Structure formats: structure tokens, C-alpha cells
Copies of this chain bind each other. A is one copy, B any other.
Amino acid sequence: MKFTNSEENYLKSIFHLQMQQGNVSTNTLAATLKAKPASITDMTKKLNAKKLLHYKPYYGFYLSTEGRKAALEIIRRHRLWEAFLAEKLEFQWDDVHEIAEELEHISSKKLIDKLDAYLGFPKFDPHGDPIPDNKGKIKEPRKISLLQMQTDVPCIVCQVGNDSAELLELLKHKKISIGSKLSVKKRFEYDHSLEIKINQSLITISNQLAKNVFVTYES
């Protein structure tokens, strides 16, 4: 699918914010894009209609699988161009970002794959950020502790914090294992415990346990 420059900038910013915090709010996105909140709502509705993100009025939004895929393509283009500017054209590393902001919107797949090959398939951009490959895969596996995971986003357990018998026993008892699909439903401020939905039922997880369960977004 082909997007406008503006749509692409939104997708990219939402992706980045999502990496840091969980759910993205209208105001934070407005701040990073240097736009007014009203403009964010407008575009958010448009991206929602295109099924690029999940949006519930007043409760923020997060990218859909589609949207995440698109964002990764844009990030790939951005970082490959940054690599080109720095390595081939001898730009300083603090000088490449602005130009890459424009180059990233040129969407020819052939162009980007050829550029990638020309640069020798670099894994990182000049700032050390990983460059997604042509399948959208990033070198570093993207894992988040359940504590960081935003609510209501389906995700998959991919790693546990350690191999202690006690931890594994508890996980086994709660029927959580690598590959389990779940989503965080609620957080309690009192003891920082979470309620998660797994296997069609709601269960409670302590803060200590959540800290040691790592998930990735559903692919």
C-alpha cells in the first residue's frame, strides 16, 4: 500500500513512541510531531479507517500488525539512507537525519533493496539503531517485559527472566509458557499487580512475575 508523507510520519512516530511507553496518547504524539492535538485526532481517525491502528476515542491508540509493518518499512528506508549519507557521501552523523526525513518517503522497493545491497546490507545506522531487513525483521529481537506492555494489546510470551524452579513452577501452574497468547487487561496501583487474559480467562499476576515475563507483539 502507498501512503502520503504525512501518514508515514505519523506511523513512524507512533511506532517509536510505542517502543518507549505503551499506548500512545493524542497529546504525546502532538508534541513529538509538533502539531496540534486536533490534527492528531483527525489523522488518527483516518489511519484507523485504513486499519493501520487500533483507536478507541479518549483511550489512545496503538499500531495494528499492518501499521507496524508499514512503520518498519519507513524506518528501514530512513536508516538505510542515513547509512548511505554517512558512509558514501561523508556526511557527519549529526547531519543525516533531516535529509533522511525526506528520502524515507520514496517508496520504490527496488530502490531500497538495491541501496541495501550497495551498502553491503548494514545492520545498524550511523546512530547505532538497527536497520530492519527487507522482510521487516530487526536484528535485535523486540521484547518487552509484561510490566511495560500496554493494556489490551495481544502479545506472545517469548522469554522468561530466569530459569529458577520457583518461577517455572508458578508459570506452569498459571499455564503460561513460551508461545502463550495473552493481553494485559488491568493494572492495580496498590500492589502493581496485573490482570491478564489468557486462554479465554482472566488471571492475576504479581509485579514480580510480570517483570520476568517478556513478550513480543503478535506477528
Contact = CB atoms under 8 A, between A and B. Distances in A.
Q: Enumerate the 9 nearest inter-chain pairs by beta-carbon distance, A residue then B residue, closest first.
A: A89-B114, A102-B106, A99-B108, A99-B111, A89-B118, A88-B118, A103-B106, A89-B115, A90-B114
A99 B102 CA distance: 14
Contacts of A93: none
Interface of A: 85, 88-91, 95, 98-99, 102-103, 106, 108, 110-111, 114-115, 118
Q: What is the total number of copies of this protein in its complex? A: 2
B89 A99 contact: no
Nearest to A85: B111
A133 to B, nearest CB: 18
Nearest to A113: B89
Contacts of A102: 106, 108
A110 B99 CA distance: 10
A114 B91 contact: yes
A217 B215 CA distance: 59
Nearest to A117: B89
Given A89-B114, A99-B108, A103-B103, 5 more contacts: A85-B111, A89-B111, A90-B114, A102-B108, A103-B106
B106 A99 contact: yes
A23 to B, nearest CB: 34
A8 to B, nearest CB: 13
Contacts of A108: 98-99, 102
Contacts of A95: 110
Contacts of A91: 110, 114
Contacts of A103: 103, 106
A74 B114 CA distance: 24
